[in-house]
Structure 1
């Protein structure tokens, strides 16, 4: 009897492009396709996987760092694509032709089963038409993704609790952002409730989300201009320690990268 496992790799994460790969023995999913088709193929090769085996692509929202390679990947590999109706309206305009047979609706608040993976979608606060994120369930394990959100509501915290793996946003250091050369309107957007989570906000939210089930937290969607991996990790770790979360004992923090994948590992 084969062991029940849920494997995953954060193929890339950051303002330059986002993609996460999730697989079981029967099912292979890609969450977002925010890099060129060529780069996505390279990232798959780096973890020893073939995008030709994908069963579906799930889209969180229509910003270019989440859909840049969607049209190419959908057409090249004839992969079904799942997004909500409002996001599809934008994708039709931004991604070129995707055959109607490949287009599926998956609305916020719904649960979808693809192969042997159950997927729960939930709404997030971001400046897109109807942004959402996902929790994945397989064999008693739960992996949750939460990036591109300006704040974390109590409802979202409840949705994310009891995840063995969390892929969670730590986008910027507030002082680095304030001192940056970004125009004020961009700074205001990032700092707003429909922008991105700071390192501090990430740590504070994680302190409320992490439970005895949690094993790994991947800090994701870091700004290349307004954050540093070491700074994000140290800031989140300090807050978690202050809140008596057993970092490096029960829970370990992990980096993600804009241009290379994390190891393909099992929950």
Structure 2
């Protein structure tokens, strides 16, 4: 696996700062370059409502205050990272953040996009910048939250949908684990809905799934730092989130597809919910 270039979306939030810390840790392991992008939202629709004289004043205010502040902030990041030996450059632009970040990643041939998860209000809607980038990006997207990253990943969770096999996320997680000395937990969720199954039947379902998961992974690949797990939960995202919390996971690596009838529905109901609810960073990958 190569991570030669990481695009980091800066938005001034604590989540975004956490994403940069993780990008820095990855850059040290994979000798990556970090390219930051700070997007000032496009205010044209608002500005067009202003009288002509006010339009100029508003644009001047944006240039003087927002752009200057963003540049000062990015310069500080550049100096701090440079002292640690990390190659960092950046660009500041105006536009629609999600579109600008996605296009910027393509332009720079990025191997990973690192973003803050987003404000809490975005938990109830599909429309936050991170989620829009996730839907349009063909490269892995890391979403981070909080301030608890300690510089590495001790435990990595890889959810597996058995109807699709292991997927790219498995190999990605294994390569990350090799770089950071991590334990990989491969997890399959047996979804029971909210029905009350007899415990014997639930355990039987778990046993069937566990055997299939073991065959999928391959017994020769199982070792002390690669562990298979089968979880019983009402639904996929809840099982993944609870399992990651139980194992004190430092990272989840997940594919953006699943066993539902509609791929779009899965992205909304599983991967999206995992991003929003997980206590740790999440890397999402497209098939």
TM-score, normalised on structure 1?
A: 0.30
Report which of the two has the higher share of helix: 2
TM-score, normalised on structure 2?
A: 0.28
